């Protein structure tokens, strides 16, 4: 495992951090046996940075339980986050922070983030609520060791926020397809002059790994048959000196082991000159294939009408990356569009609840309409309606396909 020094605290951080949003499990329940195996293997392999959040379902409890049971709390740095989306008053700062401590079974947080700052207005609102005094109190008491923020917004606002407070770290979305998106490379370099920068979404929710279009996989394989698309994605991030560490949401042992092997050699300047052209060719394929930039993070869920928003977008994108029939199969499986209780885009009532939660700022309502037109053409909807009638189901359903 390679390490890079956090210049604010002097901490030696593993270049690979564990993103705890995607612990293994199903139907909203974390598989504790598998998760413990992963977390303890990661620690044994030298990983020391674990990133969770108040709003990741079950994640703080799972991490706290595992670290407590194995008595390894003091071997790791815990990063967790204040859920700005639910913070309405200054009392909420304390309430959410104490709940995180309780779930994590600890009395301090090593790296505490304001979760998902999106613009300067939001930062000003927090200042008006007294966030600076609250942070000062927590720093004085030692309950917060390092204070930072995670960011999903425009670059100019990011740069203003970086300059407006003595932050001790920040976390941005960054990967080879997002070099000029959100904070981007300019934001990374400016922030890194002052503080450690943690990278999230290095593989864009898997879109740059297992979900990569076949043609793009072929380009990578031709250039270096020994490297997977995930390895290409992570190496691109680690290659940059300004990056302190990257977070990867590993949900099985094969992913963890591969990432740890890569992290053994993760040095700045590790890429060869000719590699740049390989990334450029891959990006051309990706940009043609991924029409909707959904990372599958689920922040927009649940939809009150049951629309499977990320499932709709993944199926739609798949029609461009792996073909119409395979994409359609994926869409049908993930939305259950042929069943009575479907997550079809046709159920959207345009309430707008989802859009403000999307870190990628996607126009979800408009995109669902695009998906509906392509994935549920008239002949398809007619076929489903006839099928339901024949089976005597679906009576009284409004707006369903
Ligand atoms: S706008 Fe549509 S998809 Fe979004 S939450 Fe409302 S009903 Fe669901
Ligand atoms: S639509 Fe936005 S919030 Fe929802 S899963 Fe995709 S990226 Fe995440």
The partner residues of 151 in beta bridges, in order of sequence, read 117, 172
Q: What is the pLDDT of residues 54-99, one digit of tens each?
A: 999 999 999 999 999 999 999 999 999 999 989 999 999 999 999 9
pLDDT for 224: 95
356: number of Cβ within 10 Å: 12
Residue-level pLDDT at 368: 96
Q: Pick the residue whose CA is nearest to atom 4 on ligand 2.
A: 300
pLDDT for 53 equals 97
**Cβ proximity of 43 and 75 under 8 Å:** yes
Q: Within 13 A of 157's CA, how many CA atoms are on the CB side?
A: 17
Q: What backbone torsions phi and psi does residue 22 show, to the nearest 5 degrees?
A: -115, 45
Cβ of 353 closer than 6 Å to ligand 1, yes or no, is yes
Residue 76 CB less than 6 A away from ligand 1: no
CB 310 within 8 A of CB 301: yes
Contact present, 237 and 199 (Cβ < 8 Å): yes
Give tens-digit pLDDT for 231-251.
Answer: 999 999 999 999 999 999 999
- Specify the residue with its C-alpha closest to ligand 1, atom 2: 348
| pLDDT tens over the chain, length 401 residues | 999 999 999 999 999 999 999 899 976 799 999 999 999 999 999 999 999 999 999 999 999 999 999 999 999 999 999 999 899 999 999 999 999 999 999 999 999 999 999 899 999 999 999 999 999 999 999 999 999 999 999 999 999 999 999 999 999 999 999 998 889 999 999 999 999 999 999 998 888 998 888 899 999 999 999 999 999 999 999 999 999 999 999 999 999 999 999 999 999 999 999 999 999 999 999 988 888 989 888 899 999 999 999 999 989 988 887 788 888 888 888 887 666 667 889 999 999 999 999 999 999 999 999 999 999 877 776 776 676 666 555 433 433 33
- CA-nearest of 282, 278, 241, 248 to 263 is 248
One-character DSSP codes across 240-282: -TT--EEEE---SHHHHHHHHHHHTT--TT-S-TTHHHHHHHH
3-state helix, strand, coil in the chain (%, to 5): 50, 15, 40
Mutation choice for ligand 1 from 309, 366, 399, CB with most ligand atoms inside 8 A? 309
- Phi-psi domain of 116 (left: phi exceeds 0; alpha: psi -120 through 50; beta: other): left
165 vs 127, 136, 245, CA distance in Å?
10, 12, 22
DSSP of 138-203: HHHHTSEEEEEEEE-S-HHHHHHHHHTS--SEEEEE--TT-TTSTTHHHHHHHHHTTS-EEEE-TT
Cα separation, 344 vs 249, whole angstroms? 28
- Please report which ligand is nearest the Cα atom of 366: 1
Quick one: which ligand is closest to 310's CA?
2
CA-to-CA separations, 99 to 7, 36, 105, 109, 144, in angstroms, rounded: 29, 22, 10, 12, 14
């Amino acid at each position: 495992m390679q390490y890079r020094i956090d210049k604010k605290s002097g901490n030696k951080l593993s270049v690979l951090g564990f993103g705890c949003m995607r612990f293994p499990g199903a139907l909203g329940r974390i598989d504790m046996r598998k998760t413990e195996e992963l977390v303890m293997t990661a620690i044994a392999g030298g990983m020391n940075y674990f990133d969770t959040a108040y709003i990741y379902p079950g994640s703080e409890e799972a991490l706290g339980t595992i670290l407590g049971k194995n008595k390894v709390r003091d071997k790791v740095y815990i990063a967790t986050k204040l859920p700005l989306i639910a913070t309405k008053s200054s009392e909420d700062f304390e309430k959410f922070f104490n709940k995180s401590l309780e779930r994590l079974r600890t009395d301090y947080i090593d790296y505490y983030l304001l979760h998902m700052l999106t613009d300067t207005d939001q930062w000003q609102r927090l200042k008006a609520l007294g966030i600076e005094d609250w942070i000062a109190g927590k720093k004085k008491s030692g309950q917060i060791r390092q204070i930072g923020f995670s960011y999903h917004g425009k670059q100019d606002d990011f740069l203003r926020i970086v300059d407006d407070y003595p932050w001790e770290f920040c976390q941005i979305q960054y990967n080879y397809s997002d070099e000029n998106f959100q904070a981007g490379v300019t934001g990374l370099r400016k922030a890194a002059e002052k503080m450690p920068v943690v990278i999230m979404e290095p593989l864009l929710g898997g879109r740059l790994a297992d979900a990569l279009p076949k043609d793009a996989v072929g380009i990578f394989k031709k250039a270096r048959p020994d490297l997977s698309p995930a390895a290409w994605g992570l190496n691109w991030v680690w290659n940059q000196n300004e990056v302190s560490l990257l977070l990867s949401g590993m949900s099985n042992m094969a992913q963890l082991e591969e990432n740890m092997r890569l992290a053994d050699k993760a040095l700045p300047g590790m890429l060869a000159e000719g590699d740049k052209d390989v990334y450029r060719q891959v990006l051309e394929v990706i940009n043609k294939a991924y029409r909707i930039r959904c990372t599958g993070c689920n922040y927009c869920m649940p939809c009150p009408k049951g629309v499977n928003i990320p499932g709709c977008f993944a199926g739609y994108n798949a029609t461009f990356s792996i073909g119409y029939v395979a994409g359609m199969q994926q869409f049908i499986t993930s939305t259950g569009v042929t069943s009575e209780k479907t997550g079809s885009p046709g159920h959207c009532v345009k309430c707008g609840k989802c859009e403000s939660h999307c870190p990628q700022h996607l126009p979800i309502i408009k995109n669902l309409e695009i998906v509906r037109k392509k994935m549920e053409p008239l002949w398809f909807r007619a076929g489903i309606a006839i099928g339901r009638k024949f089976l005597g189901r679906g009576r009284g359903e409004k707006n369903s396909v």
